[in-house]
Structure 1
Amino acid sequence: SRFQRPENEEEKKGATETLYYVLMTLAKLIAPFMPFLAEEIYQELDGQKESVHLEDWPKYDEKLIDEELLNKMVKAREIVSVALEERAKNKIGVRQVLGSFATTNSVGEDFVKIIKDEINVKEIKMGQKENKLDTNITEELKKEGMLRELTRNVQELRKKSGLTPKDKIELIIETDESGKFFAEKFSAEIKSLTNSSAISYSQVSRGEEVKVDSLSFKIEIKK
């Protein structure tokens, strides 16, 4: 995410400021009918006034409306919608990364990364004659999809344990030779994506069973 793995400080700053603005505006909007929740959000955000109920009702600034940007976003959403429909038709889950998606539509380069992340493909081909999803799952793409599934399960374990994204963990994995070979091959990626300092392999007493394609893991996390 933009908070856990920002590409640069500017992206992190922009994401933080946007989130602050959205939450502050939300607190003001829900104050009349959800007063206690609104007040809690407002105080956590260190609002300028004593209470959210002393704030003015939010107003939109017409000068900030960017019609060109809105139109690009509409096109981007259309591309994502068509691609996801193609995935559904071919019974390929979004977690499985694919090679490319060709679209008859076109948007600016600044939207390409967003679209790729949403539909989980390596490449977007704009302005093509037809919409076409490359459904060929190579061995490399299959392994990448399995990696994402494994790290997603580890992230779920982190949440269940009440850990924050910043908390470093140690992964203890119980698996067979095939599972160990896979985890060792992608150990650097697993560590990076799950914020793990180390991965060890042994019997696990309090771990959680995780199934990734044909591989089985029992995973325990330690802070």
Structure 2
Amino acid sequence: MTSTASNIHNLVSLWKAVTAPRSTYFEQESWGYCYVSGSHWPNKLWTGAELSESMLQEMVAVIQNSKDPLTFSYFDDLSNKNLDSTLQDYFMPASIQYGMSLDLTRSYEENTELEFRQVANEQDAAIWSKNFQQAFGYEISPAIIFDNLSKISFINIYTGQQAIGTMMLYTTGEVLGIHGLGVVPEGRGKGVAQAAMHHALNQGYQQGAKLVTLQASEMAKSMYEKLGFSAQFIMRNYKIKQ
């Protein structure tokens, strides 16, 4: 499996892990969608296949009939030259993220001033949810976190007794996916995100992971590149036109 395929597989598997128990994960031959009712996450519709008029019409119908908002994520390897013209009648751009990966071959020096505590109970989940919302502007509810502790490693990042950040680690085979790495506004600019990455990479290295994947914002992309990550594709996120 290529690094691009491994990255997408890890991400979609994460969405599936959260939504499959609720029977709100649906996948067809070339596209799929999932959601948690009353939540903003994961609530995704996706495809990596070449877009067609009929596929887009089917997707639009699903979004219009959904009680919960769905974001369409397209994994773009830049080979589809007609992407924008195909989409513009149905969707408008919302954001982009870069699918990035790193071959994991060594351990990293860790920051001993920070503590990384795995969420273990409802109180921890509430702290994680609150700080995630401060970092990203939308909520992953404590209930979703608590219900998935056996499948996903949710980590609260502390300085002293103050929780200042969040992170999710999700493993598929020999691939470690890093998700939801965020720092609350008052904790930014202090090297917390890079320290969290070193911790996550060491976790993966100790567990035998060979590849680390993530989806980076434009703002965070350069930090990951300094750590040795490279971008293989762009995840283009779209909202339906009203």
Q: Could you state the TM-score of these two structures normalised by the residue count of structure 1?
A: 0.25
Question: Which protein, 1 or 2, shows the higher relative CO under an 8 Å CA cutoff with sep ≥ 6?
Answer: 2
Please state which structure has a larger fraction of its residues in helix. Answer: 1
More strand as a share of residues: 2
Which protein is bigger by CA-based radius of gyration? 1
